[in-house]
């Protein structure tokens, strides 16, 4: 397939206008020694039907996997609206007069994310939750007096990995992990007390990686005014539909992963990082942001703003090197939230929590108890060895995400996630085979 | 807007903020409810409902449909943003990528064919770029730059070296300095000189024992091929420094010449530019990193591996020299699959034809426009070229005025005021997918703008007059920082809503 429109006559006109005889003459400035001697060893060209045949993917039948990426119901309007070419094929809205659609939708996304998290401002989204955490740590380290970063060990392992990758290149004295209580699965508050200091930026995930709901009021009491900076990471944005808005606990930032809002699991990406903060930090905030303004006639209009923080103006002194957001994913989130509404989001969050409790009940009937005792949102850890995982795989069932690789201390276990996409029948099937 | 207000263009209706349309009880969606909600009674929930607009399905559909019509996309027409490569985004690529659907990355059975295709994309990118190893995980071009510079930092550390300076020519991409800073380097600009490309003799004067790398964009942001690139690579290597190439402009040279053969050690490509995946109004993009063998151990984890029985899987260990993870999962997988579909669709000759035609289209425009606009450099260019407002400025018409006037002729403007080496730059990249009729229409529009600038310069200050809003006050936005909708206590201040 070729997407070039020129026929022979067009090409003739173009060559004549340029004043060359052969198309290859355009590469006269490329030193001959550097020219490719032969065609690239690349497959194709292929027709559309061949592509459809060869690039075919389908999920397993029954899936209880989450761990930071979730399968949730996506109303049909999300795909229908988000696939409009005016949104899909537009560039970053540098020219606001002809990009008001993208700009208003992202402004509304920012508004809804700020409302859901209980924070004052949101940026226009980030690559994913892990890079949002890393950027939050970098933001904290740019503040006076902050030299250390502490993160709970019950924070999603991939978030902590990306954080370490970024901080390896930053000026930071120490990166500390706050342990969790091996019985409850909640963060060890005594360890937290010892760690929280004015030179420390502290981050906690809630609900944590084990699905366990952290004692946020106690956490807030310990760190507020003690840690130099603190943030709450949310990897299951749907929990915002039912749990207390994290901003209520008074953190400096609330960040995380909002893929659950209208974006499919999609083999792991694209994801949707979100980043919300307080107004006092807005000039330190990384990433794009859309602001409300007016045009010459005084009509409401929107544009990218705070660009003086950004790489194309401040160059090496920029707050971050990010120049895109996950625009279309943020748009999907906005459409999803519009379609779901306040009741819908809350009901769906309740379904997830109820589903997890239903399955825990079935497992308990079979004598299998979750590894941790504290209350969970919609995921929980149970013992399961690798052989059993393989047996499930052969039946087209994914019982969850293996926990052991990242937490060797909890070997032979799996993180099981229930969402509104699962059924009671699937739950019985899983419980019967564990 | 109210019913008494006339639309300016049928059927466009000014659309209020979504929160102003909501009222309790409007949303009547029936949602999946497989479980008994009473089972979650123990959950320590918030007392109130989440803070969201309550609107009906029809209102959601109307809202976003109306918003979409305030936008301009490639399917509308030419989008000549220099260095952004706004080419046509094939529909088949979208259809194929949508098949990833709800596959969860822990669903190893479903992931095997996905990983096989990602490995195939890595192979193809290696071949196109002439590099030895590839990581697909960076989620955007700037993320790729950052990852690549971290890889170089890792390699320097393992050599026991402390080199900190990265040299960046003034014709390189805008994000490069910030990416280097986050990777822990300090940057120093180098002037590219009169010819518009970096001369090896100039670079030589800037090299010292602290030089970690040179970060170059080739072809550069003037559209000029870096003709001394091979000599530059040799100088760097003799000095113990690396050559990083920003692959933003790879579209101009794919199938023609390969960065690896030029001596490039590390580079990123922008799948959303070169390989026709949509820009989505600002992402998701994808910025895979490619390196030579010496740097391969430092690439991010996980790695895609194939076991003895031909099964593809992910591995995080043992890669002790890896910089670690740069993304919580696998980057923008669906963008990677779209790019693969694009490459397979075009094949080797199609890729070459795309590169050639991209330059032909740009040169056609340049030759027809240089009579009316100042061309800052007369060195031959490839896929893009830079004009300036030097001829129009005397009459008080700036690049910004011309950009906004282009909107009134139905075009998205070119990249403006970049690269910084050209004052009042208009950077034009038509891409290979523009039909000749559209190129001609653009030439006519630009000729008209040149004429208006001569005859009625003040008119250009009023543009755009046909866009959904007139010129937007960006200064007011930065000063007042209204970043969310009013929370209900403040009345919206705008007219007509």
CATH of residue B457's domain is 3.90.1150.10
Q: Answer yes or no: are the C-beta atoms of A217 and A186 closer than 8 Å.
A: no
pTM beyond 0.95, yes or no: yes
Select from B309, B343, B377 the last residue of a domain: B343
* Domain co-membership, B159 together with B306: yes
Instruction: Provide mean pLDDT across the span A161-187.
Output: 97
* Domain co-membership, B254 together with B282: yes
| pLDDT range class, residue B403, cuts 50, 70, 90 | very high
Convert the pLDDT of each residue in B85-141 to its tens digit.
999 999 999 999 999 999 999 999 999 999 999 999 999 999 999 999 999 999 999
Closest partner CB to A108 (pick from B329, B347, B485) = B485
| pLDDT range class, residue A164, cuts 50, 70, 90 | very high
Distance between CA A57 and CA A1 in Å, rounded? 22
Residues 314-373 in A contacting B (C-alpha not used; CB under 8 Å): 314-318, 320-329, 331, 335, 337-348, 350-351, 353-355, 357-358, 361
| pLDDT range class, residue B494, cuts 50, 70, 90 | very low
| B20 belongs to a structural domain | no
* Domain co-membership, B337 together with B384: no
The pLDDT of residue B491: 38
Chain B contact for A131, CB < 8 A? yes
CB within 8 Å: B332 and A269: yes
CATH code, domain with B228: 3.40.640.10
Convert the pLDDT of each residue in B26-46 to its tens digit.
999 999 999 999 999 999 876
| B251 belongs to a structural domain | yes
Nearest-Cα residue of chain A relative to residue B86: A91
Residue B490 has pLDDT above 60, yes or no: no
Q: What is the mean pLDDT of chain A?
A: 95
The pLDDT of residue B174: 81
| B74 belongs to a structural domain | no
* Domain co-membership, B149 together with B224: yes
Convert the pLDDT of each residue in A45-101 to its tens digit.
999 999 999 999 999 999 999 999 999 999 999 999 999 999 999 999 999 999 999
Chain B contact for A189, CB < 8 A? no
Give the ipTM of the model, two decimals please.
0.97
> Which residues of chain B are within 8 Å of residue A115 when distances are taken between CB atoms?
50-52, 484, 487
Residue B47 has pLDDT above 80, yes or no: no
* Domain co-membership, B246 together with B102: yes
The pLDDT of residue B469: 94
Q: Answer yes or no: are the C-beta atoms of B362 and B428 closer than 8 Å.
A: yes
Which domains, and CATH codes, for chain A? Answer: 62-71+341-433 (3.90.1150.10), 76-336 (3.40.640.10)
Number of domains in chain B: 2
Convert the pLDDT of each residue in B176-214 to its tens digit.
899 999 999 999 999 988 899 999 999 999 999 999 999
* Domain co-membership, B192 together with B301: yes
Instruction: Provide mean pLDDT across the span B441-470.
Output: 96
Distance between CA B117 and CA B306 in Å, rounded? 12
| B348 belongs to a structural domain | no
A 10 A CB-CB count for A141 gives 19
* Domain co-membership, B294 together with B443: no
Q: Answer yes or no: are the C-beta atoms of B34 and A424 closer than 8 Å.
A: yes
* Domain co-membership, B289 together with B437: no
Chain B contact for A195, CB < 8 A? no
Convert the pLDDT of each residue in A251-292 to its tens digit.
999 999 999 999 999 999 999 999 999 999 999 999 999 999
| pLDDT range class, residue B234, cuts 50, 70, 90 | very high
Q: What does the DSSP 8-state code read for residue B448?
A: H
* Domain co-membership, B246 together with B362: no
Instruction: Provide mean pLDDT across the span B159-188.
Output: 93
> Which residues of chain A are within 8 Å of residue B39 when distances are taken between CB atoms?
353-354, 357-358, 361
* Domain co-membership, B372 together with B445: yes
The pLDDT of residue A310: 64
Buried b (16+ CB within 10 A) or exposed e, B163-187: bebbbbbbbbbbbbbbbbbbbebeb
| B26 belongs to a structural domain | no
Convert the pLDDT of each residue in B264-323 to its tens digit.
999 999 999 999 999 999 999 999 999 999 999 999 999 999 999 999 999 999 999 999
* Domain co-membership, B458 together with B315: no
| B154 belongs to a structural domain | yes
The pLDDT of residue A200: 97
Question: Which residues lie closer than 8 Å to B45 by C-beta, 6 or more apart?
Answer: A242, A243, A244, A350
The pLDDT of residue B489: 33
Nearest-Cα residue of chain B relative to residue A319: B178
| B34 belongs to a structural domain | no
Enclosing domain of residue B368: 355-477
| B422 belongs to a structural domain | yes
* Domain co-membership, B247 together with B329: yes
State the smallest CA–CA distance between residue A416 and chain B in angstroms. 11
Task: Give which of B446, B410, B409 is closest to B428, Cα–Cα.
Answer: B446
Task: Give which of A48, A1, A2, A42 is closest to B120, Cα–Cα.
Answer: A42
Convert the pLDDT of each residue in A409-430 to its tens digit.
998 999 999 999 999 999 999 9
Cα pseudo-dihedral A88, A91, A92, A97, rounded to 10: -100
CB within 8 Å: B436 and A5: yes
Residue B493 has pLDDT above 50, yes or no: no
Convert the pLDDT of each residue in A309-368 to its tens digit.
666 666 677 778 888 789 999 999 999 999 999 999 999 999 999 999 999 999 999 999
């Amino acid at each position: 397939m070729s997407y070039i429109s020129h026929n022979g006559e067009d090409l003739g006109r173009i060559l004549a206008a340029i004043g060359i005889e052969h198309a290859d003459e355009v590469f006269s400035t490329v030193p001959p020694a550097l020219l490719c001697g032969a065609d690239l060893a690349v497959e194709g060209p292929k027709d559309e039907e061949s592509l459809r045949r060869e690039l075919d993917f389908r999920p397993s039948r029954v899936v209880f996997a989450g761990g930071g990426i979730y399968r949730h119901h996506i109303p049909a309007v999300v795909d229908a609206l988000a696939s409009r070419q005016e949104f899909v094929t537009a560039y970053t809205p540098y020219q606001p007069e002809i990009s008001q659609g993208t700009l208003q939708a992202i402004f509304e996304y920012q508004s809804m994310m700020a409302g859901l998290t209980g924070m004052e401002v949101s940026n226009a989204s980030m690559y994913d939750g892990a890079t949002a955490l890393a950027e939050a740590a970098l933001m904290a380290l740019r503040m006076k007096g902050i030299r250390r970063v502490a993160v709970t060990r019950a924070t999603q392992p991939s978030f902590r990995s990306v954080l370490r990758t970024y901080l390896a290149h930053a000026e930071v004295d120490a990166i500390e992990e706050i342990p969790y209580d091996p019985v409850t699965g909640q963060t060890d508050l005594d360890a937290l007390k010892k760690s929280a200091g004015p030179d420390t930026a502290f981050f906690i995930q809630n609900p944590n990686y084990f699905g366990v709901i952290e004692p946020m009021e106690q956490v807030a009491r310990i760190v507020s005014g003690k840690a130099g900076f603190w943030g709450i990471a949310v990897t299951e944005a749907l929990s915002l539909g039912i749990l207390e808005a994290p901003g209520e606990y008074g953190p400096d930032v609330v960040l995380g992963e909002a893929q659950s809002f209208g974006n499919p699991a999609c083999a792991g990406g694209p994801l949707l990082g979100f980043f919300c903060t307080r107004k006092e930090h807005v000039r330190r905030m990384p990433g794009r942001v859309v602001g409300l303004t007016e045009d010459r006639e005084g009509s409401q209009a929107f544009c990218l703003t705070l660009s003086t923080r950004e790489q194309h103006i401040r160059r090496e002194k920029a707050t971050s090197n990010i120049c895109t957001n996950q625009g279309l994913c943020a748009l999907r989130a906005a459409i999803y939230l519009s379609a779901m509404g306040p009741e819908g989001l809350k009901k769906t969050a309740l379904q997830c929590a109820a589903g997890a409790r239903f399955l825990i009940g079935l497992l308990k009937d079979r004598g299998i108890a979750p590894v941790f005792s504290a209350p969970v949102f919609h995921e929980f850890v149970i013992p399961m060895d690798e052989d059993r995982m393989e047996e499930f795989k052969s039946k087209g069932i994914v019982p969850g995400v293996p926990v052991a690789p990242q937490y060797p201390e909890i070997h032979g276990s799996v993180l099981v996630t229930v969402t509104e996409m699962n059924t009671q029948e699937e739950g019985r099937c899983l419980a019967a085979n564990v | 807007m109210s019913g008494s207000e006339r639309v300016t263009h049928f059927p466009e209706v000014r659309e209020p903020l979504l929160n102003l349309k909501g009222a309790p009880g409007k949303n009547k969606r029936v949602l999946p409810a497989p479980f008994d909600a009473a089972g979650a009674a123990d959950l320590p929930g918030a007392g109130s409902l989440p803070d969201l607009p309550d609107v009906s399905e029809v209102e959601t559909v109307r809202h976003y449909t109306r918003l979409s019509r305030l936008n301009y996309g490639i399917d509308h027409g030419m989008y000549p943003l220099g260095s952004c490569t706004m080419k046509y985004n094939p529909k088949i690529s979208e259809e194929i990528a949508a098949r990833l659907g709800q596959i969860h990355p822990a669903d190893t059975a479903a992931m095997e064919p996905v990983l096989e295709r990602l490995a195939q994309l890595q192979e193809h990118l290696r071949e196109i770029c002439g590099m030895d190893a590839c990581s697909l995980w960076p989620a955007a071009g700037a993320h790729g730059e950052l990852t690549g510079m971290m890889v170089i930092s890792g390699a320097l550390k393992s050599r026991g070296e402390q080199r900190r300076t990265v040299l960046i020519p003034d014709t390189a991409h805008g994000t490069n300095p910030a990416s280097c800073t986050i990777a822990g380097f300090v940057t120093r600009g180098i002037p590219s000189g009169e010819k518009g490309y970096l001369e090896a003799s100039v670079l030589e004067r800037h090299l010292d024992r602290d030089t970690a790398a040179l970060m170059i964009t080739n072809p550069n942001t003037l559209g000029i091929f870096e003709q001394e690139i091979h000599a530059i690579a040799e100088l760097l290597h003799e000095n113990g420094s690396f050559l990083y190439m920003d692959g933003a402009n790879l579209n101009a040279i794919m199938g023609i010449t390969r960065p690896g053969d030029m001596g490039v050690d590390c580079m990123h490509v922008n799948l959303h530019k070169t390989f026709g995946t949509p820009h989505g109004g600002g992402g998701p993009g994808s910025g895979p990193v490619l390196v030579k063998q010496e740097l391969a151990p430092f690439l991010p984890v996980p790695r895609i591996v194939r076991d003895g029985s031909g099964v593809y899987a992910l591995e995080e260990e043992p890669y002790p020299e890896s910089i670690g993870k740069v993304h919580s999962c696998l980057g923008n997988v669906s963008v990677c699959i779209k790019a693969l579909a694009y490459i397979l669709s075009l094949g080797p000759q199609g890729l070459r034809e795309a590169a050639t035609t991209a330059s032909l289209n740009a040169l056609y425009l340049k030759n027809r426009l240089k009579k009316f606009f100042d061309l800052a450099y007369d060195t031959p260019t490839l896929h893009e070229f830079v004009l300036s407002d030097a001829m129009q400025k005397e009459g008080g018409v700036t690049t910004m005025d011309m950009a906004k006037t282009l909107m009134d002729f139905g075009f998205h403007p070119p990249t403006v005021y970049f690269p910084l080496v050209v004052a009042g730059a208009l950077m034009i990249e038509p891409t290979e997918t523009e039909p000749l009729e559209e190129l001609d229409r653009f030439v006519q529009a630009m000729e008209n703008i040149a004429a208006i600038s001569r005859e009625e310069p003040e008119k250009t200050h009023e543009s755009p007059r046909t866009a959904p809003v007139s010129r937007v006050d960006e200064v007011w936005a930065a000063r007042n920082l209204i970043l969310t909708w009013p929370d209900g206590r403040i009345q919206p201040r705008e007219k007509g809503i």
